[in-house]
A and B are shown apart, each in its own frame.
Chain A
């Protein structure tokens, strides 16, 4: 209970789902062979942390930011540029962290102080403007960022796939640098999510919820809300930048498409909404559903389409053709928002709350 900051999932099914997801992620290198499964698992870890940090903003303070991918990008590029420029060593990783995190926090502080004292819509617009400017800047400064091509780089020796830590002859599994990198991503993401859970359940988190509900009332109680909102914005930016660093380390690459594009911002928004806003747990659920669908829906539909074709059914083979996967992804989202307006977590908590008639409080 300590580790969850006194905020358990509060639903038996939700607890079960979370445990299954976490165990599956932790055991991916051994359960699911192949590079794709490991890539998907790493992406789920990174996005769970990224989405959780966005939930701190959207779910707990009610402020809509479009600059979250910018902070994610700052983290990615900081690691990439440092490792590209200084060579594959740990000093470069440390440099990336020491430069990237304060940069993200300072930028978040500046945006917060300038725009969070006014109406929420200005904050959204300013983050949109700053993020667009940053995206242009990143592609223009090609001597530094590699422009549209981005930067590929080598990892330090320990994290390379070629580095065998435990040979296959010992346990029947080879533990190499790639798997070590995966566990680094897994552990840091998990720590960040637990830290966010601690933040939202602290007195500070309660003030954020009060601000979300009615900012004027919170001010009338004596809270300087600009301070709280800006602080939350900085925390979210720090976690997003860290997630970006993990992503860059995993991909050994940082570029506009993988770390700055607005389609990532949309993905984050969808994951928060699907999982359930203002819950933190929703981030893990949303990221898992979304990324699994993104990666496996197409092949699943291929199988279904072929089966329908062989069974001689009309229309269905065409509808289920793998090329139509985006249509089905879209329908899946509409259905999930329609049936789970409070997200998967909100829905499951409500179901268990109904059964135990308020004893969950």
Chain B
């Protein structure tokens, strides 16, 4: 299994804060890699650094063998990286349709892809011409994910998609991400919801204080309650 994305020795400074302190990680092609860790561990910063939204101050980031750490964000996106930021990042003044057309940047929307998306998120078809700002939180998150998958991407970076959503919508999201995974997508997924992580993840990385403190298979972590407690301060039973 080759690695699609690889970070080695990546440091990121934000102002005078040293957030990422030497990240080494690999995201294997065609798998879902979970990035877990408590708040403030540097998970979002890791995604933003990969995306070029924060500049890495040291280290190498390679995507499919190509160095990308000094590229600008749009150029990284054009190499096939889709980013779903935290907190329902839709363009609220535009309609659902316009949001998706924007995401399809280089051409018209693909109807079969759209039907596939509508299959998971029927609400998007219903509110096709409504302003995205008028959608509910869950619908916005659906749109945000739809925007990332409306075009085929090599790699998806998804930041806490289930945050603040109702349980039923979380289940729909998990189903959707599973389906995206079955289609062969490579995903790096930040998640606080351990249930979602266990359902989706092939591999797991746990961060703390700007470094990776654990790497392994998701199933192994899911099976080892004492390891979970040590790494994440939680037990699966309490979070199901």
Contacts and interface: CB of A to CB of B under 8 A. Distances in A.
Contacts of A207: 102
Contacts of B74: 219, 222-225
Interface stretch (B38-46, B85-93, B110-118, B208-216): B85-93
A213 B93 CA distance: 8
Interface residues of B, number: 25
Q: Is the interface of A mostly helix, strand, loop or mixed?
A: helix
Contact of B91 (A213, A225, A278, A358): A213
A221 B105 contact: yes
Interface in A166-217: 203, 206-207, 209-210, 212-214, 216-217
B98 A206 contact: yes
Contact of B73 (A213, A214, A216): A216
Given A219-B74, A225-B74, A210 B91 contact: yes
Contacts of A224: 72, 74
Contact of A223 (B83, B105, B131): B105
B129 interface: yes
Nearest to B103: A221
B44 to A, nearest CB: 13
B61 interface: no
Given A209-B93, A217-B91, A361-B129, A203 B101 contact: yes
A220 interface: yes
A87 B83 CA distance: 60
Contact of B147 (A221, A225, A361): A221
B91 A209 contact: yes
Given A203-B101, A224-B74, A358-B130, A217 B85 contact: yes
Contacts of A361: 95, 129-131
Interface of B: 51, 53, 72-74, 77-78, 83, 85, 89, 91-95, 98, 101-103, 105, 129-131, 134, 147
Given A220-B73, A361-B131, 17 more contacts: A203-B101, A207-B102, A209-B91, A210-B94, A212-B93, A213-B91, A213-B93, A214-B89, A219-B73, A219-B74, A220-B53, A220-B83, A224-B72, A358-B134, A361-B95, A361-B129, A361-B130
Interface of A: 203, 206-207, 209-210, 212-214, 216-225, 278, 358, 361
15 contacts: A213-B92, A214-B91, A216-B53, A216-B73, A219-B53, A219-B72, A219-B73, A220-B73, A220-B83, A221-B147, A222-B78, A222-B105, A223-B74, A224-B74, A278-B93
